[in-house]
Amino acid sequence: MPANLPGERILARLYLRSTDLIHTQCAHDWIVTHARKAGLAGATVLEGIAGFGSRGVLPLSPWHVSTPRPVIVELVEDVARLFPFLANTLFPLLHHGTITLERAAVLMYRHRDLDRLQAPLQLHDRIADLSTLPAFPSTGSTAMQTTDGILLRIFAGESDQVDNRPLHEVLIAKARELGLAGATVLKGSMGFGAHSVLHTTKLLELSTDLPIVIELVDTEEKIQTLLPHVQEMVKEGLITMETVRILPCGTRAVGSTAS
């Protein structure tokens, strides 16, 4: 088996629901706590505001605390520590969700004042061959079925619109129409973009254009079908693509992100 690349770290992203449980504890809390006990380098929980996946659409309702929300748990570590944690500690207890293992490349950085991009938006060549990773350990009597795919991230602003509708709503609707497996929308509390204007949720500097990130995971062929629509809809922002290895939890469809 090829050795891990020098200095390489793997980012594992776990796509869950806020109401998922492990041993009566919120799954994302349990994962972060046990990742720390296992000595992993880092863990972060990101809460989404909307999404869809194999278990349906997840709109965020401010009126119901118990309404399921998409949640992403990010774990950072090398293969030698990360794979045993996922295979031996997490998989036996996690019955829903999708996990991706990934590296990143910038696909587009567009400024509103520049001329519209003329050439069709294209995926880069895969920047790092995932074959350098060892085979994922079996989690029972059968080996884990993995699929290589693409994670598309669209970094935009909360106030961005398409035909007087929020950009993320239009993109999610188009992704569902094209048959993509899932999508997650994340809202940031601080950030800046192409104009270097800082947006924040601080009380005295309340912004109406906080950053959002729209994430879509699926096979390369499915992501390709969405790109022309992304190019037309995203007037300003950053788009990245990442080669990912998709690990479905339980009997899940490939790429079903919001769960």
SS3 category, 233: helix
* pLDDT tens, position by position, 116-171: 556 777 776 655 566 666 677 766 645 567 888 899 989 888 888 999 999 999 99
pTM over 0.75: no
* pLDDT tens, position by position, 24-79: 999 999 999 999 889 887 788 888 888 877 777 666 554 445 578 888 888 877 78
Kindly list the structural domains of the chain, giving each domain's residue range(s) and its CATH number in brackets, ordered by start: 10-248 (3.30.70.120)
- Using the predicted structure, report yes or no on whether residue 210 has a pLDDT greater than 80: no
pLDDT > 90 fraction of the chain, expressed in percent and rounded: 24
Mean pLDDT of 225-240: 89
Consecutive H or E run containing 223: helix 220-233
What's the pLDDT at 124? 63
Cα atoms found within 13 Å of the Cα of residue 250, Cβ hemisphere only: 13
* pLDDT tens, position by position, 86-114: 989 998 898 888 898 876 444 665 666 55
C-alpha dist (Å) from residue 200 to 15, 21, 158, 162:
26, 32, 12, 23
Task: Work out the number of other CB atoms within 10 angstroms of the CB of residue 89.
Answer: 15
- Using the predicted structure, report yes or no on whether residue 217 has a pLDDT greater than 50: yes
Query: What's the chain's average pLDDT?
Result: 76
CA 121 to chain centre: 20
Do 51 and 258 meet the contact criterion of CB atoms below 8 Å apart?
yes
Which of the four pLDDT bands, split at 50, 70 and 90, describes residue 251?
low
Going through the chain in order, the beta strands assigned E by DSSP cover: 10-17, 21-22, 25-26, 42-53, 56-57, 70-77, 98-110, 147-157, 161-162, 165-166, 183-187, 190-191, 199-200, 211-218, 237-248
- Using the predicted structure, report yes or no on whether residue 3 has a pLDDT greater than 50: no
* pLDDT tens, position by position, 163-173: 999 999 999 99
